[in-house]
């Protein structure tokens, strides 16, 4: 065989490559988190890094999220870039004060004297039967805390490119990795062999369409694609937008699409009230009201925690069926 088989990378390994490459490029950068060194992370995102960079630059931390985030703030104050892992994004609540009051406000409080190049990343999202404390999408808390950027990739290419961009950003970034996507076979893809980033603050149109715009991010992107296929059979073409970065939000891509389709459904798996879908809808109303032919709609989790067993979990989370029904209502308005 003379033809080399193309190397395909899954979502998890794409993340690992991003961290590895940034660590190699900056000898001052450190990684901290629970079980990230010896074990290589609960899901293996940091596997092998401690052997390469040593146990000071890749550090196992106590189960103490306030301490992890505070330590990241202190290291950044001395000029270091920091990647801090939250073992599950659900656990980020234990470090909440340090994130919203300290990390997020540092650059503001110091009138630009001290940037905070810190990435807090961790596995997020439901649909895996993880129950109340291993299923959350709590991005709304941080979108509501000025000073934090919020990112959520849905593909392997974006996982690597967005994480590299986040690690190079001088601002703190909360990075939502979708654990159900970590090892999905159909997300494996050939990644560029040269250095690349996906810039923060840029949405992308995944599918082009004319009759309705679906706006989402993370795991729900894959529900939206299925819905788009179903709508195609009904004779509707759907445009599907992957937001990718929630803060700062690329409004332009969304508004441009709505000007074309005149109908929009926003999908996310966070609870409805004060969720990010609501924020997108508010901006659509402010900026594209006159282009709309139907009320802008959303399909979100119910205002409940994420319960454990399948029928309960399915009942509260957005599904292909629920999204489809929301789209049909919007199309037939």
Kindly write out the interface string for residues 209-248 of this chain, putting x where it contacts another protein by CB under 8 A and - elsewhere: ---------------------------------------x
Cα 30 from Cα 246, distance rounded (Å): 25
Verify binding: residue 52, another protein, rule CB under 8 A. Answer: no
**Whether 134 is catalytic:** yes
Smallest gap from Cβ 72 to another protein, in A, equals: 6
Judged by phi (left if over 0) then psi (alpha if -120 to 50, else beta), residue 294 lies in beta
What residues numbered 122-151 form the site for another protein, per CB under 8 A? 146-147, 149
Choosing from 39, 42, 67, 328, the residue that interacts with another protein (CB under 8 A) is 67
Strand partners, 267: 299
Cα 268 from Cα 314, distance rounded (Å): 14
Residue 65 and residue 94 in contact, taking contact as beta carbons nearer than 8 Å:
yes
Residue 183 and residue 10 in contact, taking contact as beta carbons nearer than 8 Å:
yes
What residues numbered 160-189 form the site for another protein, per CB under 8 A? 170-171
Choosing from 24, 101, 199, 293, the residue that interacts with another protein (CB under 8 A) is 101
Smallest gap from Cβ 95 to another protein, in A, equals: 9
DSSP 8-state code for residue 170: S
Q: Which is nearer to another protein, 3 or 111 (CB)?
A: 111
Exposed e or buried b for every residue in 270-299, given b needs 16+ CB within 10 A?
bbeeebbbbbbbeebeeebeeebeeebbbb
Q: Which is nearer to another protein, 174 or 281 (CB)?
A: 174
What residues numbered 246-275 form the site for another protein, per CB under 8 A? 248
> Which of 118, 189, 163 shows the shortest CA–CA distance to 21?
163
Verify binding: residue 78, another protein, rule CB under 8 A. Answer: yes
- Indicate which residues carry an active-site annotation: 134
């Amino acid at each position: 065989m003379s033809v080399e088989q193309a190397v395909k990378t899954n979502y998890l390994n794409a993340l690992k490559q991003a961290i590895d490459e940034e660590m190699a490029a900056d000898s001052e950068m450190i990684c901290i988190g629970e079980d990230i060194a010896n074990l290589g992370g609960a899901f293996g995102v940091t596997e092998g890094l401690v052997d390469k960079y040593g146990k000071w630059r890749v550090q196992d931390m106590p189960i103490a999220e306030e301490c992890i985030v505070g330590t990241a703030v202190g290291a950044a104050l001395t000029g270091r870039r920091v990647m801090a892992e939250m073992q599950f994004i659900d656990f980020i609540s234990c470090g909440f004060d340090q994130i919203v009051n300290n990390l997020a406000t540092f650059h503001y409080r110091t009138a630009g004297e001290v940037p905070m190049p810190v990435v807090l990343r961790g596995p997020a999202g439901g649909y895996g039967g993880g129950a109340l404390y291993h299923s959350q999408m709590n991005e709304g808390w941080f979108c509501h805390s000025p000073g934090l950027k919020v990112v959520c990739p849905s593909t392997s290419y974006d996982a690597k490119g967005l994480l590299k961009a986040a690690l190079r950003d001088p601002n703190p970034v909360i990075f939502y990795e979708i654990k159900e996507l970590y090892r999905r076979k159909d997300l494996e893809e050939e990644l560029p062999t040269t250095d690349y980033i996906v810039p923060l603050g840029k949405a992308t149109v995944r599918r082009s369409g004319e009759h309705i715009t679906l706006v989402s991010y993370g795991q729900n992107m894959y529900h939206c694609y299925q819905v788009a296929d179903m709508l195609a059979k009904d004779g509707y073409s759907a445009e599907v937008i992957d937001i990718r970065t929630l803060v700062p939000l690329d409004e332009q891509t969304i508004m441009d699409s709505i000007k074309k389709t005149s109908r929009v459904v926003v999908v996310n798996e966070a609870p409805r009230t004060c969720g990010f879908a609501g924020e997108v809808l508010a901006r659509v109303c402010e900026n594209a009201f006159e282009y709309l032919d139907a009320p802008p709609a959303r399909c979100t989790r119910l205002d409940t925690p994420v319960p454990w067993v399948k029928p309960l979990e399915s009942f509260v989370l957005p599904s292909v069926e629920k999204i489809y029904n929301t789209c049909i209502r919007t199309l037939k308005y």
